[in-house]
Chains A and B, each alone.
Chain A
Amino acid sequence: MNNVWAVSTVVMREMYRRKDFYVLLILTVLITLILGSVNFFNESNVVRYLKEVCLLLIWIASLVIAITTAARQIPAERESRTIFPLLAKPISRAEVLVGKFLGCWLASGVALVCFYLFFGVISAAREHGLPIGGYLQAVMLHWFMLAVIIALALLGSLVFAAPSSNNTICFVVVGGILLIGRHLHKIAIGKGGFSEAILTAVYYVIPQLGWFDVRERIVHDWPAIDALSFLVALAYALAYAAVLLFIACWIFRRKRLQ
């Protein structure tokens, strides 16, 4: 566990040295503040459009941070050849990979906290209230979804040749799942035959990332989700990330690094 923690702290330190997170945070803040200054019929309490845009920016920023950070971990180590002295130490390949995952996930979590703190301040300033329970659920679900995505990007970094192709494929897959993943079974039923079987299988295999997207509930002030459903979703994310990490470890153990 010490080995895993040591690797993860290096990943976190590296992430906070890079400028990606700060640039994305500043962009989100600027765009939200500019939009917030727009006057709509002198109505100062209009807030939902602002919440929606701010949450969309946070989601985009978090996906960029998580995918690009995770996708470059192993290729960067191989390219700079630092993977060899690292593996020469008493640490297994699985520990390196899990450490990388943990570092990326924790760093994404810290970034998410900063983003959501800003969101909370903007929301509270306009609405004169803060539904803490719902917002905490949103942050946690978002963070656990990032665990699945980081595991996916790490797995991709071992399968695809270049980080750029891995980044692109991860963005397309995650974007596709978020946009139509929830409707895939409906689409499948309309197709019939072999296409229906394939699409239905894909629907059950892909991670149900839609479960973690509670933006509509937050924007429109719906009450918090019941605790059981919330915990089931978190457990599902952890289980899915664990499966992806297990496959990644298996591939990494057999991979020739030369």
Chain B
Amino acid sequence: MTPPRHSALVLAGLATLAFSLACLNEARTLARTVDPKPFSLLETVLGESRRLFANHFFIKADAYFHSGYYPTVFDNQEGYETAHIAADAGAAEEKNSGEELGFLGQPLDPFEAFSRRFFPSEHTHLDEGGADHESHDKGGSPGVGGDVREMLPWLKIAANLDPNRVETYTVTAFWLRDRLHRSQDAEDVIHDGLRNNPGDASLLFELGRIFFHDRKDFDRARNVFEAGINSWNKNESGTKEPNKFLALQLLSQLAELEEETGHYERSIHLWEQAKVFNPASPGPQIHIADLRAKLASPTTRPQ
């Protein structure tokens, strides 16, 4: 190979390398600016259908909560329209109307009657002992109803499949905090949710409950509840069907917090606001009367 030809090849090689590096750099810059989300295998493989799977796994967690006693598409589902794990967590307003305990109804034939001996056909809840009706915690986390940990894998998978399904985070956080007494894990779950759904009012509500009930950090809890109310006003108040249940929850929790910290006047004001969202409920009025009585009494009046 002659020297000029050798130099030309080296030059061509360097030019190719420079072009490749420029392409790589451009691709990286584009990836950073156009799509800041990290690469997700699930998103690539499943696309939008992953939301359907997420819902399936969320329902599966509810089926686990009932130790497998759960209606199929062929059964009467009226008693299970709202997942019980969500209703118990306060993450959704319960809209169940049908028979929860006996959705199977009377057996239609001897075969069906006999088949009920081979699958769970009795209503139970995991936090009340599950299938054998007595608490059989297997160690690990302290507290009653430790078996609710069995729901966690499905909830985590549901959150991974659909990071924008806020209910999954709030429900997971509730069971971690309330039954498994793992407020730090619950807080981490909520922060995950907030990273994927910035400023979501229901996530802020759940975070506020962690600070209020578990940490007793009233100042941070107050700030988070107020941020939640602001978020609700910004995103929900102008909509056709605002989530009144969430507004009621945020206002009631903040009102309770203000009562706990001795700010009775502010608490009364918040209960007044809460009353607007559920005029039929006597709860807010009872609290208001109670707080007014406390304010009137010289012994309980805050100094």
A contacts, CB < 8 Å to B = 38, 40-49, 127-128, 141, 180, 182-183, 185-187, 189, 203-204, 208, 210-214, 216-217, 219-223, 225-226, 229, 232-233
Contact = CB atoms under 8 A, between A and B. Distances in A.
Given A186-B108, A204-B111, A229 B117 contact: yes
Nearest to B105: A186
22 contacts: A41-B149, A41-B185, A42-B185, A44-B140, A45-B138, A45-B140, A47-B150, A49-B150, A128-B138, A185-B108, A203-B111, A204-B111, A208-B115, A210-B119, A211-B114, A213-B118, A214-B118, A220-B120, A222-B68, A226-B117, A229-B114, A233-B118
Interface stretch (B85-93, B151-159, B194-202, B250-258): B151-159
B239 interface: no
A217 B114 contact: no
A221 B119 contact: no
Nearest to B70: A216
Nearest to A216: B68
B144 interface: no
A92 B68 CA distance: 48
Contacts of B139: 45, 128
B118 A41 contact: no
Contacts of A226: 117
B118 A210 contact: yes
Contacts of A219: 68
A213 to B, nearest CB: 7
Contact of A217 (B74, B118, B141): B118
Contact of A40 (B72, B109, B115, B152): B152
Contact of B117 (A49, A186, A225): A225
B156 A40 contact: yes
A180 B132 CA distance: 28
A42 B119 CA distance: 31
A210 B111 CA distance: 10
Interface string B105-125: 000110110110111100000
Contacts of B68: 216-217, 219-220, 222
Given A141-B118, A210-B119, 10 more contacts: A42-B185, A43-B140, A45-B138, A185-B108, A189-B108, A203-B109, A204-B111, A213-B119, A216-B68, A222-B67
B112 A46 contact: no
B184 to A, nearest CB: 10
Contacts of B185: 41-42
Interface string B177-190: 00010100100000
A51 to B, nearest CB: 10
A101 B23 CA distance: 64
Nearest to B72: A183
A185 B185 CA distance: 46
Contact of A182 (B115, B141, B156): B115
Contacts of B152: 40-41, 43, 46
A182 B75 CA distance: 11
B107 to A, nearest CB: 9
A89 B180 CA distance: 70
A221 B147 CA distance: 11
B264 interface: no
**Top-9 shortest CB links A-B:** A183-B74, A216-B68, A220-B67, A49-B153, A220-B68, A48-B150, A222-B131, A229-B117, A45-B140
A49 B152 CA distance: 9
A187 B109 CA distance: 13
B114 A45 contact: no
